[in-house]
Chain A
Amino acid sequence: MSSAPGSGKFVRIDKQGEAVVVAPLFTFASFTEADLVAEWQAVQHQIDAPEVKYVIVDLGEIPYFGSTVLEWMVQMWKRAKAKGGSLATCNCSKIGREVLHAARFDTLWGVFDSRDEALKSVGQTPA
């Protein structure tokens, strides 16, 4: 069952079964980290919900990203992992894939072309 727990200025959050889908909406040219803190707390709150085990990061809204988004992703991954879950990414741009590859995260996280594929990879049925 899909629901829409929230959409802020910098991130959109959807829920799909046991997965939370987090879509960053910012590039570094449009935010400061202090802006992100409040929305980060909302993301954490969703991931910490008892029924959630998986995080899908949908990177389709941002053409590129740097270490700040990577830091977010590591934090989310660790929270999901602590609950026996995992993290997968989708809709990543070419340069975004280069960033994931440089950090070797493409060896740890699934990198999928679509949200549906990412959801299926963690056993969730797309809406």
Chain B
Amino acid sequence: MPTVLVVDDAAVDRKLVGGLLSKAEDLRVEYAASGAEALKIMEAIWPAIVVTDLIMPGMSGLELVQQIVERYPRVPVVLMTGKGTEETAVQALKAGAASYVPKTALHTYLLDTIRDVLDVVRSRHSHERLMDCLTRSEFQFRLDNDAEMIPSLIGYVQSLVTSSGVCDESSVIRVSIALEEALRNGMFHGNLELTSDQREGDPEDYQKLVADRVSREPYASRRLQVTVRIGDDRGTFIVRDQGPGFDPNKLPDPTDPANLEKVSGRGLLLMRTFMDEVSFNSTGNQVTMVKKCPAPCPAGEVAS
């Protein structure tokens, strides 16, 4: 039976909330009179959800949310907000609280809110467990030369590599940076054949040039093929453009002091910095990047 941990320094409010939750036969209720006591209790029992007041002596509700997010990221927190605590509630929501219920409306909304949050958490845990069982997956995208697709694709890949266990939180950012560079290189330098020199000029002129090439042949019909392969001990990311290609060995070294003032030309450097392996095909229009799991990932464990 899921346990709800109710945290409030006012005994009368704890009693009120306890009374409301006692109507639910499928929930068990524990109480804490302070944030510190709540954390102490959480060392012994793992509640399914925490319901906390915001204004408490000692550790505030906001601090409690921050502690729970850090120590028990899977335990959702619902805030009970009073008049004048709106700003703190916003901060707590930004810090990771799952939802809030005004104290004046606890009768109406508290139980439903708890159930809604628990449903979402159950569904997310179930998805995470399923992803832990994933041994191999491959996705292929074919993109127009529309830069608006890049953030969407990166967002999708972030979610994929995180949920599949290929990347931890810091690795996923490194993968995202490298992938973004590869996508921009393929789209702008590959398909649209825009050069670093053109990039050096006025940004507005450059954007006009981009707009012109996006609608003009032979550039307009070129596509960017992106393959994301998850499995074993790594994520593999292949970006292939339909431009003429280039020789990566002939690129100037952007870290050479003579080149530091150049505006562009650091994409490949960042790709090499944040991926474990980066290689090009012989024509230079396809880059393959590999990120290895920081530790044996679930897919690798299942595969072996």
Q: Which residues of A contact B (CB under 8 A)?
A: 28-34, 36-37, 40-41, 63-68, 70-71, 74-75, 78, 94-95, 98-99, 102-105, 108
Number of interface residues of B (CB under 8 A): 34
The stretch among B91-99, B240-248, B258-266 that forms the contact with chain A is: B258-266
**Chain A residue contacts of B255, Cβ below 8 A:** 102-104
Q: Does B147 contact A (CB under 8 A)?
A: yes
The stretch among B37-45, B59-67, B133-141, B175-183 that forms the contact with chain A is: B175-183
Q: Is the CB of B269 within 8 A of A103?
A: yes
Q: Is the CB of A34 within 8 A of B173?
A: no
The answer to whether A29 and B154 touch (CB under 8 A), given A64-B177, A66-B270, A102-B273, is yes
Q: Does B150 contact A (CB under 8 A)?
A: yes
**Chain A residue contacts of B150, Cβ below 8 A:** 28, 32
**Chain B residue contacts of A71, Cβ below 8 A:** 199, 263-264, 266
In the bound complex, what is the Cα–Cα distance between A30 and B148 (angstroms)?
9
Please give the distance in Å from A108's CB to the nearest CB on chain B.
Answer: 6
The answer to whether A103 and B266 touch (CB under 8 A), given A29-B151, A34-B147, is yes
In the bound complex, what is the Cα–Cα distance between A31 and B273 (angstroms)?
23
**Chain A residue contacts of B210, Cβ below 8 A:** 33-34
Q: Is the CB of A64 within 8 A of B173?
A: yes
Q: Does B215 contact A (CB under 8 A)?
A: no
Q: Is the CB of B207 within 8 A of A37?
A: yes
Please give the distance in Å from A55's CB to the nearest CB on chain B.
Answer: 15
Q: Is the CB of A102 within 8 A of B269?
A: yes
Q: Is the CB of B261 within 8 A of A95?
A: no
The secondary-structure label for the interface of chain A is helix
Q: Which residues of B contact A (CB under 8 A)?
A: 147-148, 150-151, 154-155, 158, 170, 173-174, 176-177, 180-181, 184, 199, 203-204, 207, 210-211, 254-255, 260-264, 266-267, 269-270, 273-274
Q: Which residue of A lies closest to B174 (CB)?
A: A95
The CB with the most chain B CB atoms within 10 A, among A66, A78, A99, A103, is that of A66
Q: Which residue of A lies closest to B205 (CB)?
A: A37
Partner of B267, one of A67, A95, A98, A108: A67
In the bound complex, what is the Cα–Cα distance between A51 and B270 (angstroms)?
35
Q: Which residue of B lies closest to A71 (CB)?
A: B263
In the bound complex, what is the Cα–Cα distance between A70 and B273 (angstroms)?
15
Closest 3 pairs between A and B when the two form their complex, measured CB to CB: A102-B273, A104-B255, A32-B147
Q: Is the CB of B270 within 8 A of A31?
A: no
Please give the distance in Å from A95's CB to the nearest CB on chain B.
Answer: 5
In the bound complex, what is the Cα–Cα distance between A95 and B169 (angstroms)?
11
Q: Which residue of A lies closest to B256 (CB)?
A: A104
The answer to whether A67 and B151 touch (CB under 8 A), given A40-B203, A75-B263, is no
**Chain B residue contacts of A68, Cβ below 8 A:** 184
In the bound complex, what is the Cα–Cα distance between A87 and B59 (angstroms)?
41
Please give the distance in Å from A33's CB to the nearest CB on chain B.
Answer: 6
Q: Which residue of A lies closest to B158 (CB)?
A: A29
**Chain A residue contacts of B173, Cβ below 8 A:** 63-64, 95
Q: Which residue of B lies closest to A94 (CB)?
A: B170
**Chain B residue contacts of A32, Cβ below 8 A:** 147-148, 150-151
Q: Is the CB of A108 within 8 A of B260?
A: yes
Q: Is the CB of A67 within 8 A of B176?
A: no
In the bound complex, what is the Cα–Cα distance between A108 and B274 (angstroms)?
22
Please give the distance in Å from A11's CB to the nearest CB on chain B.
Answer: 13
The CB with the most chain A CB atoms within 10 A, among B203, B255, B262, is that of B203
